[in-house]
Amino acid sequence: MTSPKITLDQWAALQQVVETGSYANAAERLHKSQSTLSYAIQQVERLSGVQVFTLQGRRAMLTQAGEVLYRQGKKLVEEARRVEQLAGDLAHGWESQIVLAVEIVFPTWLLLQCLAQFAKERPQTRIELIESVLGGTDEALLESRVDFAIGPSIPQGFLGDRLMQVRYVAAAHPDHPLHRQGRALTADDLQRHRHLVVRETAARRSSKLSISADERWTVSNKATAIRAACMGLGFAWFPEENIRDELRSGLLKVLPLQEGAVRYGNLYLIFADPEAVRPGARRLAAIIQGAVKQFCPAHASVEAESADRSL
């Protein structure tokens, strides 16, 4: 395999001349002489066999082929910078991948916002997200499959910080028969209708449901449960933050329960090994903690009692 004939410095010179609009501006930005940049462009043309610029009056304009070379050369320069940044990150202990388990009751919109912010800072770091339910979160920590987790409890032998309070509401589609009773609902009323439940992700399931409904649909994704409820196919206790759009749009409506209409639970942030947390995992965890305080201040500041987290 032969080495590239055109150097990264020469591609960078082309990029700056194009983007600054002149050799003088590019020379100032790159701290090089105009003659050095002129020679670099000549080398690009000679080695590629392509005329990059053409004169139009007093202005040098990119040719059609030059436009192609400029775009591809820019990609090479940017990729080289990313590789150098990655090498520097690795040298300073930044990991190339972060694995985290997040209980599905954590607001999806907020989690994605946090991941997007982290990606802007560290685009080369891969993220593996395990969307877990109840015992599945503990299991991921106990089996050392994650760098950190967000879950409803702290497994024995681990330490964690309370992250936020989760408010659960019983909800169904406005046209669901439960909303047509015209009175406060009882547990007996709920037992006669289909209960939507998200399956626990642990290999050994330990959760118990508070309502023993005659009909039950168990699904493996919270989005499926929400969609089913919006279609009038059942009721569930949902984390309020996870269905806020559906409540606002009228696709779902809180059930008027005589007792237990609202429940509360906690979520904790737990590092798998607090003494060996790497910079990337620590930074992502800090972003999540900051986002909870900013966008869910009431949930972040109020102490709560433990609750049944079945959907």
101-112 pLDDT, tens per residue?
999 889 999 999
Distant-in-sequence, close-in-space partners of 263: CB < 8 Å, separation ≥ 6: 167, 168, 237, 307, 308
pLDDT of residue 129: 95
Instruction: Tell me how far apart the terminal alpha carbons of the chain are, to the nearest angstrom.
Output: 58
Cβ neighbours of 142 (radius 10 Å):
15
pLDDT of residue 118: 96
- Three-state secondary-structure class, residue 154: coil
pLDDT of residue 202: 52
CB contact burial 291-309 (16+ within 10 A = b; e otherwise): bbeeebeebbeeebeebeb
Strand partners, 238: 169
Apex 102 CA angle, 218 and 284, nearest 5 = 160
pLDDT of residue 309: 39
Euclidean distance between CA atoms 197 and 169, whole angstroms: 14
Low-confidence ranges of the chain (pLDDT < 50): 203-206, 301-311
Q: Is the dihedral of CA 138, 142, 143, 149 positive or negative?
A: positive
pLDDT of residue 301: 45
Euclidean distance between CA atoms 246 and 124, whole angstroms: 35
